[in-house]
């Protein structure tokens, strides 16, 4: 009985966190949305809502199609094309997805806008602002990595015996591709399509800054209605509509990602022979994709170094001085410290919550409990950062201490963005702990902490490190919730870039964008060194 109570105790802190910062605030959104049918009629009858709702779906579908075609071919090239330098090319293809969208956006605009790098090098002009195809292109370049990484794993585990039978019956490459390969990787392609659709559907920073007023996603609409116009009623209605669509997508994603996992276990894998011409073609294609996806990153660094080179000594000294304090609401140095502080705190608290959940599961011995925990902790993935921030504002915003304690709510929003990945990673590793070892430990009278330290920890310590780093990386790049909640001294590097976006040719925003990319790249390189990185949830 003592053991049982002890196990239940470990679930209490995670339960309080999710109730306080996710479920209760979200209930407030539902309550406001359902309090007036007139608000629903007003929103649904609005031509502006219809236009932006259709645009949100349209750009998400187009992004999924373009990223899907390019990324799936890239995944096949990585898995079976044996490109030269694959150990470098494969991680490099993943990097753009892990970088904060706001830093990618700065480079994207610097490259494409009239007078930018594209115009300077080739004389070509491409209107970025107020152009729906610019939004779709930016989303596509950002999401190619999702398809490439997920389909690469699926292509690697194709059943070799089916291909052998097909070859023996005289089936050529294209016939085997149609009858064996595509049906086998279909669940993975569908799972990658759903998660890409989800990311594009909930896009905020890219659409907010280059869509102007002509193009908005539901996420941008919620921000404008609730934060700028204080129209909480219609904002709540739009939030519920967005949330319902997100939940459908997440449920479908979980279904097909589980199906994919079940189909990739065991067996002899298909390993085709790649000729020199195939290897060269695969290498050329991957390099072409890398050029497309890396140019925003490189553009930012080029512009920063050019700006720094032409700056005077006084201007360089002013980079982190108080020159821009009136725009930021605080000093640039404080902005950097905020970013690092939130990142480290998100990592530490995130893995602490994951460990508490593991300690509870040790004592419960129930697959149902593990399923329920996995389900209820992954739901924040179906809720956008703006909706979470809006919900937090509804529940806590009337408190007179809200402004002074806003850092707590920003940190909570960062945790809600990171926890689905953290908990999934740790629970996956926990699944490899032998049940009989846990049973013997319990029979010998060991408490939950001792069992965790002696038996469970060796199995999950690597995933805890990766989870910490990945949670920190998510925090570093988080934009929506921080942009919505932060005021004055608590802004981060990503939100500072948003504030300074219109002055992107000056040194400070270029410095911030370069710094953000370097932080994310550093964290990714460390994660990649552990060999456990996975884009899936």
Query: Tokens standing for 469?
Result: 């780093």
DSSP assignment letter at 269 = B
Mean local confidence (pLDDT), 357-363:
84
Average pLDDT over residues 117-130: 74
pTM: 0.88
In order of 127, 353, 384, 408, 466, the CA distances from 429 in angstroms are 47, 15, 27, 30, 11
214-223, 279-288, 370-379, 453-462, range with the lowest pLDDT: 370-379
255-279 pLDDT per residue, tens: 877 655 444 444 577 777 778 888 8
The span from the CA of 17 to the CA of 13, in Å, is 6
d(Cα 260, Cα 245) in Å, to the nearest integer? 22
Buried b (16+ CB within 10 A) or exposed e, 202-221: bbbbbbbbbbeeebbbbbbb
Q: Please give the Cα distance from 23 to 204 (Å, whole number).
A: 22
Task: Name, in order, each residue with C-beta under 8 angstroms of 470's C-beta and a sequence gap of 6 or more.
Answer: 418, 421, 422, 425, 523, 527, 533
Q: What pLDDT is recorded for position 264?
A: 44
Please determine, for residue 4, whether its predicted confidence score (pLDDT) is greater than 50.
Answer: no
Q: How many CB atoms lie within 10 A of CB 422?
A: 28
Measure the CA–CA gap between 473 and 526, rounded to whole angstroms. Answer: 11
| Number of alpha carbons in the 13 Å side-chain half-sphere of residue 146 | 28
Are 102 and 184 contacting, i.e. CB atoms less than 8 angstroms apart?
no
Query: Which pLDDT value is given to residue 296?
Result: 82
Contact yes or no for 220/208 (Cβ under 8 A): yes
Q: Give pLDDT, residue 269.
A: 73
Which stretches within 35-159 are classed as H helix? 37-44, 47-80, 86-98, 101-112, 117-122, 132-156
Helices (H), 365-434: 367-378, 385-396, 406-430
Measure the CA–CA gap between 63 and 196, rounded to whole angstroms.
8
What Cα–Cα distance (Å) separates residue 101 from each residue in 77, 204, 284, 517? 26, 9, 26, 10
Look at 262 and 303; give whichever has higher pLDDT: 303
CB 480 within 8 A of CB 205: yes
- Name the band, by pLDDT with cuts 50, 70 and 90, for residue 532: low
Q: What is the pLDDT of residue 263?
A: 47
Model confidence at 123: pLDDT above 60: yes
pLDDT of residue 332: 85
Q: Write the CB contacts of 433 (distance below 8 Å, at least 6 apart in sequence).
A: 455, 456, 459, 460
Higher local confidence (pLDDT), 312 or 393: 393
- Nearest partner of 222 among 352, 12, 87, 33, judged by Cα: 33
Contact 83, 282 (CB under 8 A): yes
Residue 13 pLDDT more than 70? yes
Closest CA to 212 of 145, 288, 151, 134: 134
3: number of Cβ within 10 Å: 15
How far, in Å, CA of 282 to CA of 185, rounded?
19
Confidence of residue 7 (pLDDT cuts 50, 70, 90): low
Over residues 279-308, mean pLDDT:
86
pLDDT at 5: 45
Contacts with 346 (C-beta within 8 Å, 6 or more apart), sequence order: 411, 414, 415, 418, 471, 472, 474, 475
Quick one: DSSP state of residue 273?
P
- Residue 26: which residues within 8 A CB-CB, separation 6 or more? 243, 383, 387, 388, 391
Mean pLDDT of 120-130: 75
- What is the length of the chain? 537
pLDDT band at 99 (very low <50, low <70, confident <90, very high): confident
Chain segment 394-410, per-residue pLDDT in tens: 999 888 888 889 999 99
Q: Which residue has 């590097």 as its token pair?
A: 493
pLDDT tier, 501 (very low <50, low <70, confident <90, very high otherwise): confident
The answer to whether the CB of 468 falls within 8 A of the CB of 308 is no
Distance of CA 517 to the CA centre of its chain: 15
Mean pLDDT of 111-121: 72
Cβ(166)–Cβ(182) under 8 Å? no
pLDDT of 439 strictly over 80: no
CB neighbours of residue 484 within 10 Å? 24
| Range name among 179-183, 282-286, 471-475, 528-532 with the lowest pLDDT average | 528-532
Average pLDDT of the residues in 144-172: 81
447 pLDDT higher than 80: no
* pLDDT for the residue 241: 94
Select from 116, 118, 127, 143 the least CA-distant residue to 59: 143
- From 405, 410, 420, select the one nearest 389 (Cα to Cα): 410
More confident residue, 284 or 87: 284
CB atoms within 10 A of CB 280: 14
Which domains can be identified in the chain, with CATH numbers?
Answer: 59-310 (1.10.3720.10)
Q: Which of 9-13, 14-18, 159-163, 476-480 has the lowest mean pLDDT?
A: 159-163
* Coil vs helix vs strand at 268: coil
Mean of pLDDT over the chain: 84
Residues sharing a CB contact under 8 Å with residue 96, sequence separation 6 or more, in sequence order: 104, 141, 142, 144, 145, 293, 294, 296, 297
Contact status, residue 389 vs residue 395, Cβ threshold 8 Å: no
Segment 50-59 mean pLDDT = 95
Q: Which residue bears the tokens 């919505």? A: 484
Return the number of other C-beta atoms located less than 10 Å from residue 125's C-beta.
Answer: 12
The answer to whether the beta carbons of residues 187 and 256 sit under 8 Å apart is yes
Cα separation, 336 vs 508, whole angstroms: 12
Distance CA 451, CA 438 (A): 7
């Amino acid at each position: 009985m003592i053991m049982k109570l002890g196990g239940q105790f470990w679930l209490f802190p995670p339960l309080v966190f999710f109730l306080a910062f996710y479920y209760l605030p979200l209930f407030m959104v539902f309550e406001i949305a359902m309090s007036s049918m007139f608000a629903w009629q007003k929103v649904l009858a609005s031509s502006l809502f219809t236009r932006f709702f259709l645009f949100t779906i349209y750009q998400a579908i187009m992004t999924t199609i373009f990223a899907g075609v390019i990324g799936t071919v890239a995944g096949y090239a990585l898995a079976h094309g044996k490109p030269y330098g694959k150990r470098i090319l494969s991680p490099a293809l993943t990097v753009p997805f892990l970088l904060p969208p706001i830093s990618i956006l700065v480079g994207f605009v610097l490259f494409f806008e009239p007078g930018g790098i594209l115009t300077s090098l080739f004389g070509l002009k491409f209107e970025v602002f107020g152009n729906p195809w610019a939004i779709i292109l930016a989303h596509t370049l950002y999401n190619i990595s999702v398809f490439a990484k997920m389909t690469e794993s699926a292509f690697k585990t194709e059943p070799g015996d089916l291909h052998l039978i097909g070859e023996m019956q005289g089936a050529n490459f294209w016939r085997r591709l149609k009858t064996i390969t595509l049906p086998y990787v279909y669940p993975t392609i569908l799972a990658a399509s759903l998660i890409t659709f989800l990311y594009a559907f909930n896009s905020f920073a890219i659409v907010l800054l280059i869509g102007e007023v002509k193009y908005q996603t539901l996420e941008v609409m919620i921000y404008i209605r609730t934060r700028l116009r204080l129209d909480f009623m219609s904002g709540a209605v739009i939030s519920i509509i967005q949330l319902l669509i997100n939940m459908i997508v997440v449920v479908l994603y979980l279904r097909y990602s589980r199906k994919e996992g079940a189909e990739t276990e065991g067996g002899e894998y298909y390993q085709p022979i790649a000729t020199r011409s195939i290897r060269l073609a695969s290498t050329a294609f991957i390099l072409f994709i890398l050029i497309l996806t890396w140019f925003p990153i490189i553009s930012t660094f080029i512009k920063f170094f050019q700006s720094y080179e032409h700056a005077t000594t006084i201007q360089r000294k002013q980079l982190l001085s108080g020159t821009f304090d009136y725009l930021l609401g605080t000093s640039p140095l404080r902005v950097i410290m905020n970013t690092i502080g939130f990142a480290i705190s998100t990592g530490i608290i995130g893995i602490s919550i994951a460990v508490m959940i593991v300690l509870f599961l040790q004592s419960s011995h129930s697959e149902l409990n593990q399923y329920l925990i996995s389900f209820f902790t992954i739901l924040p993935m179906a809720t956008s950062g703006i909706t979470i921030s809006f919900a937090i504002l509804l529940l806590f915003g009337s408190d007179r201490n809200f402004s002074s304690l806003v850092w707590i709510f920003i940190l909570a929003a960062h945790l809600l963005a990171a926890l689905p990945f953290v908990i999934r990673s740790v629970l996956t590793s926990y699944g490899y702990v032998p049940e009989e070892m846990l049973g013997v430990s319990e029979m010998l009278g060991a408490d939950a902490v001792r069992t965790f330290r002696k038996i469970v920890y060796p199995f999950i310590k690597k995933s805890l490190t990766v989870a910490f780093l990945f949670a920190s990386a998510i925090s570093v790049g988080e934009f929506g919730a921080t942009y919505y909640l932060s005021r004055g001294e608590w802004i981060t590097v990503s939100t500072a870039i948003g504030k300074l976006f219109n002055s992107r040719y000056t040194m400070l925003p270029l410095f911030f964008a370069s710094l953000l990319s370097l932080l994310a790249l550093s964290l990714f390189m460390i994660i990649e060194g552990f060999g456990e990185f996975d884009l899936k949830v």
